[in-house]
């Protein structure tokens, strides 16, 4: 099978962890250990989140004058290289020497008129107490929203329209290469208004789940796996009545509501992939990637299922 695996940003830098290179390296090693066994049987494409990392780089930009700070598209490119390097090296340490791996900087087109620019929703960077968030808001003019009992910066998150490097990704897969691409939803770009095909960067962070879904469709993947910090899609999360969905059709998921800042985009993206491609999507924990490929772990979404079933 051709499998696209989308690693959530928290899979590489978990909430509350120190934002250090050693921490990210350790988490990249865990991800590699979960993915490496699939390489012998399947074509593998890996995407990843970058919210914590791009936020960290933006904070480091405080050393610059405001007009000298690097924009989010450049920071997104930096995170693609940083995270891709770690994943590529950790996978290479587990796989046969002859297995090729490649990290591809991936530009993604967005629409200048996307409503996401009017309502920033994408969480980036670390969490803060309200007092600290208010102080930074006053200093930098950043927008903050509540994330659980903490506060985090939010930035614009336009929908992806086109993946510019889709042909090189296909070429690499034809050579049995494990490809790491579209990190953080890709580098946000658009054509400058009034110019003749002049591509420019955009101050935004594209939703990684929506971009991974677009990538999986354009690659005609057999399976889209969305690895997160939950074992499955659950209803009544955190309540005594919590139940984990096992197998489900996209239409049956519409009866439930999921948080917009966490599980909602994953359910939306997975359902869209299953509905439009006729193939399978899966949502579950990083440790259960192999089980999701087998179909016995996580939440498996396909239009051909007879109905909704639950984990026991």
| 93 annotated active-site | no
**Looking at residues 268-291, what average pLDDT do you find?**
95
Q: How far apart are CA 49 and CA 8, in angstroms?
A: 5
| 279 annotated active-site | no
Q: What is the token pair recorded at 113?
A: 């008129």
Which residue in this structure is represented by tokens 């639950």? 310
DSSP 8-state assignment for residue 192: P
Say if residue 19's pLDDT is above 90: no
Contact 242, 236 (CB under 8 A): yes
Among 55, 84, 116, 122, the active-site one is: 122
Contact 273, 218 (CB under 8 A): no
Helices (H), the chain: 9-12, 21-35, 51-60, 72-92, 130-140, 166-174, 208-218, 250-253, 263-277, 289-294
| 122 annotated active-site | yes
Task: Give the phi and the psi of residue 281 in degrees, each rounded to 5.
Answer: -120, 155
Task: Give the phi and the psi of residue 240 in degrees, each rounded to 5.
Answer: -60, -25
Q: How far apart are CA 267 and CA 275, in angstroms?
A: 12
- Note the pLDDT tens digit of each residue in 206-219: 989 999 999 999 99
Q: How far apart are CA 305 and CA 247, in angstroms?
A: 7
Report the SS3 class of residue 248.
strand
pLDDT over 90 for what percent of the chain? 63
Among 9, 125, 184, 186, the active-site one is: 9
Among 10, 27, 50, 302, the active-site one is: 10
pLDDT reported for residue 55: 74
Q: How far apart are CA 81 and CA 69, in angstroms?
A: 19
**Residue/partner pairs of 14-17 with CB below 8 Å, 24 or more apart:** 14/229, 15/127, 16/127
Cα→Cα distances 258→23, 164, 185, Å: 29, 31, 21
Among 55, 116, 186, 208, the active-site one is: 208
Which of 154, 156, 180, 208 lies closest to 100 in space, CA to CA?
Answer: 180
Say if residue 22's pLDDT is above 70: yes
DSSP 8-state assignment for residue 187: E
- Note the pLDDT tens digit of each residue in 144-167: 998 888 898 888 889 999 999 999
Q: How far apart are CA 85 and CA 311, in angstroms?
A: 36
Say if residue 224's pLDDT is above 70: yes
Contact 227, 11 (CB under 8 A): yes
- Note the pLDDT tens digit of each residue in 121-149: 888 777 889 999 998 888 878 889 988 88
| 266 annotated active-site | yes
Among 84, 266, 284, 298, the active-site one is: 266
| 161 annotated active-site | no
pTM: 0.89
pLDDT over 70 for what percent of the chain? 96
Report the SS3 class of residue 190.
strand
């Amino acid at each position: 099978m051709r499998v696209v695996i989308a690693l959530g940003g928290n899979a590489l830098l978990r909430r509350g962890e120190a934002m250090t290179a050693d921490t990210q390296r350790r988490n990249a090693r865990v991800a590699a250990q979960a993915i490496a066994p699939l390489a012998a049987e399947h074509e593998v494409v890996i995407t990843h989140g970058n919210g914590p990392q791009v936020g960290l780089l933006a904070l480091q930009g405080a050393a610059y004058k405001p007009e000298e700070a690097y924009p989010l598209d450049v920071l997104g490119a930096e995170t693609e290289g940083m995270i891709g390097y770690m994943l590529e090296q950790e996978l290479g340490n587990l796989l046969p020497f002859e297995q090729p791996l490649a990290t591809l900087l991936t530009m993604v087109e967005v629409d200048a008129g996307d409503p996401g620019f009017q309502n920033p929703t994408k969480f980036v960077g670390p969490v803060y107490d309200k007092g600290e968030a208010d102080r930074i808001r006053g200093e930098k003019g950043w927008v903050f929203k509540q994330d659980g009992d903490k506060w985090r910066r939010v930035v614009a998150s336009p929908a992806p329209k086109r993946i510019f490097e889709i042909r090189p990704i296909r070429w690499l897969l034809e050579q049995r290469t494990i490809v790491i691409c579209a990190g953080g939803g890709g580098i946000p770009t658009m054509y400058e208004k009034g110019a003749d095909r002049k591509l420019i960067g955009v101050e935004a962070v594209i939703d990684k789940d929506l971009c991974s879904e677009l990538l999986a469709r354009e690659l005609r993947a057999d399976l889209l796996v969305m690895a997160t910090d939950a074992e499955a899609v659950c209803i009544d999360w955190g309540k005594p009545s919590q139940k984990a969905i096992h197998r489900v059709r996209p239409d049956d998921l519409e009866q439930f509501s999921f948080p917009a800042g966490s599980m909602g985009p994953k359910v939306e993206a997975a359902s869209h992939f299953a509905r439009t491609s006729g193939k399978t999507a899966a949502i579950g924990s990083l440790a259960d990637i192999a089980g999701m490929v087998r179909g016995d772990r996580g939440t498996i979404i396909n239009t051909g299922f007879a109905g909704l079933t639950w984990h026991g």
